[in-house]
Amino acid sequence: LEFEGHIARLVYEMTGELPCRGEVKHVRDQIAMIPFISRSEKREVFVRYARDDGAIYIDLANSAGQAVRIIRDGWEIVRHGLHPPHFVRYPGMKSLPVPVRGGSIRDLEPFLNIRKEADFVLIAGWLLGATNPDGPFPMLILNGSQGSAKSTTLKMLRSVVDPSEAVLSDLPASQRDLFISAMRSWLLSFDNVSGIKRRMSDSFCRLTNEGAIRTRMLYTNNQEIILKAKRPVIFNGITHFAEQNDFIDRSVFVDLPTIPESSRKVEKEIWEEWEKARPAILGALYDALSAALRNFDHVKSSSLPRT
Tens digit of each residue's pLDDT (9 = 90 or more) over 254-287: 999 999 988 888 989 999 999 999 999 999 999 9
Name the residue with higher pLDDT: 3 or 90: 90
pLDDT at 43: 78
Q: What is the pLDDT of residue 277?
A: 97
Q: Is 261 helix (H, G, I), strand (E, B) or coil?
A: helix
- How many CB atoms are located within 10 Å of the residue 49 CB? 24
Instruction: Indicate the average pLDDT of the chain.
Output: 89
User: Average pLDDT for residues 3-23, to the nearest whole number?
Assistant: 85
Please report the pLDDT score of residue 270 as a whole number. 94
Average of per-residue pLDDT across 72-96: 91
Of 124, 129, 100, 104, the C-alpha closest to 114 is 124
- The alpha-carbon radius of gyration of the chain (Å, integer) is 22
Q: Please write down the HEC assignment for all residues of 6-75.
A: HHHHHHHHHHCCCCCHHHHHHHHHHHHHHHHHCCCCCCCEECCEEEECCEEEEECCCCCCEEEEEECCEE
Check: CB of residue 215 under 8 Å from CB of residue 178. no
Whole-number Cα distances in Å, 83 to 68, 87, 134, 239: 15, 11, 20, 47
> Is residue 77 classed as helix, strand or coil in its secondary structure?
strand
Query: Higher confidence at residue 166 or residue 252?
Result: 252
Highest mean pLDDT among 85-99, 216-230, 290-304: 85-99
pLDDT at 80 over 60: yes
Contact present, 117 and 96 (Cβ < 8 Å): no
Pick from 89, 88, 68, 86: nearest CA to 78: 68
- Express each pLDDT in 173-214 by its tens digit: 888 899 999 999 999 999 999 999 988 999 999 998 877 766
Please compute the mean of the pLDDT values over residues 99-113 and round it to a whole number.
Answer: 95
pLDDT band at 219 (very low <50, low <70, confident <90, very high): low
